[in-house]
Amino acid sequence: MMKVYIQQVERTKAYKKTELSLVDLLCEPAQRILSKVDPSRIDGVFVSVQNISSFTGEGNIATKVADRLGLRGAEAERVETASNGHTALLRAFDAVASGRCKRVLAVGGEKMSAVPREERSRIIGEVVDPIDRACGLTMPSAIALISLEYARVNKVSLPDFKALLETIAIRTYRYAAANPDAQFAGKTMTTEEYRDDMRNPPVATPLHVFDSCPTSDGAGAILVTSKESDIEISGVGHAVDGSRIFDRYYIDHLEATRWAARKAYKQAGILHPRDLSGLILEQHDAFGPLFLLNLVDLGIFTHPEAMKAIEKGTLDRDGEIPTNISGGLKDLHALGGTGLIKIIEACRQLRGEAPPALQVKKPKVAICHSIGGPGNNIAVTVLDKVGNRRYRHHFRRWQPEPLPHNNEPYKPVLPQGILEVSTTVYPQVGSPQGAYAIAVVNCGGKHILAAPAHDKVQRAWGEEVKISTVARGTFNRYVYE
């Protein structure tokens, strides 16, 4: 397999709303790259967008982008793995590493402002499995349940968990404010603002508005080549988990992150990522709790270590492992382009081209992480600064640890269950009108999703189950088999 390098990177600013068409938006950073490179020498373009038909009503986007860029004769393909924009780079990596292509463009982005906010939320929610959606599960409530289960398993009290979310939010806004390309550029946040329920209303307890990322218009482009440059793509990993959250063996963390990280680390020759000198991290923190979960799932820290690292500044610009110094997803979340743009921010750091207020001292290696859907389509990429003489471990007979067999569908469901965690979902953010609860219930060792009964729910999924801590009739049970 040939070595693969990153030659050029470009991105747009993060827009709350832009008048550019989607094709114009995607081509803007790519055209800047092609102003420095002969377009006739580009062998292909891979384009990552998520919900193009829903947001803009377009199709065949890869061909349109290739045509606009003057890449006739090159191969062009659209890549879609929900908000996991890394996969455009992975396809470009494969094309170059195999020797099929010498120079390939990876382009990713989204134009989300083309539809009203309510419609935008509905479109984003389509990545949640239809059965989960029928039970009222949304993206925020899915992450809320996963993070609450994480806190329960790791014995973190709810007040401590909320205090940690406040620390994460204030930190993330501080770095996004210093990034001139970020959607929240120049907008810091204080403790008083975070604690103000009028300005920071609940979305799905314990998540509030300031724990969530924005929706953005934006795009990025990366030129991948077999010719040696200053940044090598030394490892890539990609993994999926169950579409339905309650089909997964674990719901207290994102197992797909662990699988993808193991694959990327093996290829990059990394045994213990925390031991890397000059390490920086760009991870997918669409919601505040993911900032914590990702640190553990990527194998950087154990849970107690991650808690201390967040509180003591280990992850700050001048800390041991600078993390999300670009502002993370408070920079932007342009769905199909987010993962790609976070890799671009890592490249800027490695090249010393980040804004002065954000530039890390002597970065040598970057771990980049991107999540698609409710934590079930995940990619990890390792970038090395050429000349970084780190030890590369050679694994023999190495393979990711297999997941334990999920035997939950065969466990009996008892007539009574124990309510483990629950979240209150606010369809109208900040307003109690229409609010409802969703819970994780342990019925005889089998986790089920307890959801409110309403007309849209398919009652065929199960009869009522008595839950000792919840009034009978409030919930219907749904067992995924």
Residue 277's alpha-carbon distances to 92, 344, 366, in angstroms, are: 28, 20, 10
Tell me the per-residue pLDDT of 382-431, one tens digit each, with 9 for 90 and over. Answer: 999 999 989 998 876 555 555 544 444 445 555 566 778 888 899 888 78
Give the pLDDT band (50/70/90) at residue 479.
very low
As a whole number, mean pLDDT of residues 9-19 equals 97
As a whole number, mean pLDDT of residues 234-242 equals 94
pLDDT at res. 476: 38
As a whole number, mean pLDDT of residues 280-284 equals 98
pLDDT at res. 53: 86
Q: Higher confidence at residue 22 or residue 459?
A: 22
pLDDT at res. 436: 84
pLDDT at res. 162: 96
Q: Does residue 417 form part of some domain? A: yes
Domain membership of residue 432 as a residue range: 408-478
CA separation for the pair 450, 421 (Å, rounded): 10
pLDDT at res. 475: 39
Q: Higher confidence at residue 428 or residue 480?
A: 428
pLDDT at res. 473: 34
Give the pLDDT band (50/70/90) at residue 250.
confident
Q: Does residue 426 form part of some domain? A: yes
pLDDT at 315 over 90: yes
pLDDT at 286 over 80: yes
CA separation for the pair 105, 91 (Å, rounded): 10
Q: Does residue 94 form part of some domain? A: no
Into how many domains does the chain fold? 1
pLDDT at res. 306: 97
CA separation for the pair 249, 480 (Å, rounded): 12
Q: Higher confidence at residue 452 or residue 100?
A: 100
Q: Higher confidence at residue 412 or residue 339?
A: 339
Q: Does residue 291 form part of some domain? A: no
Which residue is it, tokens 């986790």?
Answer: 447
Q: Does residue 463 form part of some domain? A: yes
Q: Which amino acid is at 467?
A: I
CA separation for the pair 278, 385 (Å, rounded): 10
Query: Please, which residues bridge with residue 108 across strands?
Result: 48, 220
Question: Count of CB atoms within 10 A of residue 427's CB?
Answer: 15
Q: Does residue 436 form part of some domain? A: yes
pLDDT at res. 406: 47
As a whole number, mean pLDDT of residues 124-152 equals 89
Q: Does residue 441 form part of some domain? A: yes
Give the pLDDT band (50/70/90) at residue 265.
very high
Nearest to 288 by CA among 124, 154, 161: 161
Give the pLDDT band (50/70/90) at residue 470.
very low
Q: Does residue 433 form part of some domain? A: yes
pLDDT at 464 over 60: no
What's the token pair of residue 28?
A: 């803007």
